[in-house]
Chain A
Amino acid sequence: MQDALIRKLESYEELTDADRRALRAFVPRLREVPARTDLIREGDIPSNMHLILDGFACRYKVLPDGQRQIMAYFIPGDFCDLNVFILDQMDHNIGTISQCQVVEIPRKSIDAITAQYPTITRAFWWCALVDEAVLRQWLVNMGARSPDQRIAHLFCELLLRMDVVGRVKDNSLPFPFTQTDLADSVGLSDVHVSRTLRKLRRLELITLHRRVLTILDAEQLKAYCGFNPNYLHLRNARWSGRRQMPWLNRVQGE
């Protein structure tokens, strides 16, 4: 059941059998949550951590005039709130986009597993670090990329993230997001999103049909928006050598 999580953590750290057993032995509360449902709202007191096992969710805020801004997408294997659960009060909302399988992990289970399994703890740190890196990338997207590139970049990112957790088949992935979801994620109007999707289709870079996104030419799409996946810090990527951190091993060996 936790396979998406284990796959994701293994993309950052090499887990041992004991680590995997510990993750599988989580005694979580598994919930089926309908689409478009809040898991936790601004102002709520967080007590559990949410892990998405299936489906899509997002982190968002709503302005007083009703305008919504989506700040993050959560896909299978993602913690919605790895550190957020330490907060006294939520300063944003987390809600589902599609129907989701969500695991609620009590704070004390996280404390227990991080106290005993250093590799898992380090993988959790990676998760938090990459979440931040993705957020930085979204900030660059909104502030500095053209509307077409913003959406192309988002598609490249989703393709890679979904691939890590084994949810891409023939360059296709489930895509339950509406044009309004996309618009609220990249700071554009629905109309601009509609025009951009039209353009990307006509360039034969993507198809979007019956809630399935197919990337027809991943290399071209990456080139189109200048996509560099370095911020996702995947272990199997070419910069993994840098991740060896010899200085850390030396310090630990002393």
Chain B
Amino acid sequence: MADQDNVETLVFLQPISVETGSPDQVGMLVMANGLLVGVLVRLDAPEHARCGAWFMEVGLGRLAGVRAPVFDTLDDATRWMRQRLKS
């Protein structure tokens, strides 16, 4: 069976600054197969429980409205997003 799992989703990150009303401004646009699927933001405000971790600020399409966990690394975040996009 030519199932879709064999087709790797091509995820591409593009740095961007994000206005969050807080010091968390370093962000990444997340493109999957050429479509914008989300915005990741690094948690830099010292008040956060996990400073330096990555947070899915916005999810689009299949990621819309999903409450994602906070990720230690960008790799963890994109891996999680890719899995969600596949399922």
Q: Which residues of A come within 8 Å of B, CB atoms? A: 67, 179, 189-191, 194-195, 197-199
**Chain A nearest CB, measured from B20 CB (Å):** 7
Q: How far is the CA of A31 from the CA of B5 in the complex (A)?
A: 54
Q: Which residues from B are CB-within-8-Å of A191? A: 24, 43, 48, 55, 70
Q: Are A195 and B49 in contact (CB under 8 A)?
A: no
Q: Are A198 and B70 in contact (CB under 8 A)?
A: no
Q: Which residues from A are CB-within-8-Å of B22? A: 195, 198-199
Q: Are B55 and A195 in contact (CB under 8 A)?
A: no
Q: Which residues from B are CB-within-8-Å of A67? A: 67
**When the two chains form the complex, which single residue of B24, B49, B55 contacts A179, counting CB atoms closer than 8 Å?**
B49
- What is the chain A residue whose CB lies nearest that of B70? A191
- B: number of interface residues (CB 8 Å): 12
Q: Is the interface of A mostly helix, strand, loop or mixed?
A: helix
Q: Which residues from B are CB-within-8-Å of A189? A: 55, 67
Q: How far is the CA of A191 from the CA of B69 in the complex (A)?
A: 10
Is B21 an interface position by the 8 A CB rule? yes
Q: Are A194 and B67 in contact (CB under 8 A)?
A: no
Closest 8 CB pairs of A and B: A195-B22, A198-B47, A191-B55, A194-B48, A194-B47, A189-B67, A198-B45, A67-B67
Per-position 1/0 for B22-38, Cβ under 8 A of A: 10100000000000000
- What is the chain B residue whose CB lies nearest that of A197? B47
Q: Which residues from B are CB-within-8-Å of A197? A: 47
**Chain A nearest CB, measured from B1 CB (Å):** 27
Q: How far is the CA of A30 from the CA of B60 in the complex (A)?
A: 50
Q: How far is the CA of A179 from the CA of B43 in the complex (A)?
A: 15
Q: Are A199 and B49 in contact (CB under 8 A)?
A: no
Q: How far is the CA of A121 from the CA of B67 in the complex (A)?
A: 43
